[in-house]
Amino acid sequence: MNFDLIIFDCDGVLIDSELLANRSEVEFLKSFGIEFELSDYMAQFVGKNTKDVLKGIESLHGIKLSESSWKLVEDNTFNVFQTELKPIAGVFEFLASTDTAKCVASSSSLERLDLTLNIAGLFDRFSPNIFSSEQVERGKPAPDLFLFAAEQMQVNPDRCVVIEDSLTGVRAGVSAGMTVLGYAGGSHIQPGHQAKLLDEGAIEVFSEMSQLSAWLGKE
């Protein structure tokens, strides 16, 4: 399949961060009197930006966390990343195998993207084409971020393919009028998730980066 731009989500697609981050957040939130089961927390918030996570926590628990309080949560997560964060297996090989333009479009903040992509050794593979939902009005599942990325890269949406692991992200890509592939190779993926990605509009789901190379190489 020929596309002019590959748009990657970051967490759970380029870096195996979702389980690390969500486990750390759930544990640290206890210090604010906020209790979540890890599976429930991930079902609610994977793929969403900080603003929507804070709104969700307030809605579910009646506790309004300030941005400074959330910064403490994130700082704790960043400390975990420094020692435990790894890139997704096969991502370097895939990036080296294609000349198609690439960018990152993530719900994470630009600060977090800078940190995590540098830890994983991927920052220089994408910079300066790294985009965050903090640069648009609405985060995923709205299409704003993906449309912003396509505009910045000067590519029409229908010539873009999005690689996403979250249901929220797949909805955003579909809403943007882009082709969406689901990635289900991260450590956080639960049984049945592949089918959910397809239900949301991903045209195919893969669990290894080599499968992505094969799919994009199809005529």
CATH value at residue 110: 3.40.50.1000
On average, the pLDDT of the chain sits at 93
Listed residues 84, 103, 123: the one ending a domain: 84
More confident residue, 145 or 187: 145
pLDDT in tens, 40-89: 998 888 878 888 889 999 999 999 998 889 889 889 999 999 999 999 99
In this prediction, residue 151 has a pLDDT band, given cuts at 50, 70 and 90, of: very high
CATH number at residue 48: 1.10.150
For residue 131, what are the contacts with CB-CB under 8 A and spacing of at least 6? 103, 104, 105, 106, 145, 148, 149, 152
Residues 55 and 95 in one domain: no
pTM: 0.86
In this prediction, residue 93 has a pLDDT band, given cuts at 50, 70 and 90, of: very high
Residues 71 and 60 in one domain: yes
pLDDT in tens, 162-210: 999 999 999 999 999 999 999 999 888 888 999 999 999 999 999 999 9
Integer CA distances (angstroms), 216 to 90, 99, 162, in order: 15, 12, 12
> How many helical (H) and strand (E) elements, i.e. helices and strands, does the chain have?
11, 6
Measured distance CA(62)–CA(55) in Å, rounded: 10
pLDDT (mean) for 139-143: 95
Listed residues 61, 84, 107: the one ending a domain: 84
Q: What is the largest CA-CA distance in the chain?
A: 54
Measured distance CA(172)–CA(131) in Å, rounded: 14
More confident residue, 184 or 219: 184
Residues 33 and 136 in one domain: no
Residues 28 and 131 in one domain: no
Listed residues 35, 52, 84: the one ending a domain: 84
Residues 112 and 209 in one domain: yes
Integer CA distances (angstroms), 144 to 107, 149, 151, 157, in order: 11, 9, 10, 11
Token pair 């961060």 is at which residue?
Answer: 17
Q: Report pLDDT for 132.
A: 97
pLDDT in tens, 97-111: 999 999 999 999 999
Residues 98 and 198 in one domain: yes
Residues 64 and 102 in one domain: no
- For residue 133, give the DSSP letter: G
Residues 153 and 179 in one domain: yes
Residues 68 and 93 in one domain: no
Residues 42 and 91 in one domain: no
Domain count, the chain: 2
Residues 76 and 111 in one domain: no
What angle, rounded to 10 degrees, do the helices at 67-84 and 18-29 form?
Answer: 130
Which structural domain range is residue 153 located in? Answer: 5-17+86-216
Percent of the chain scoring above 70 in pLDDT: 99
Residues 156 and 211 in one domain: yes
Instruction: Name the token pair of 159.
Output: 């010539």
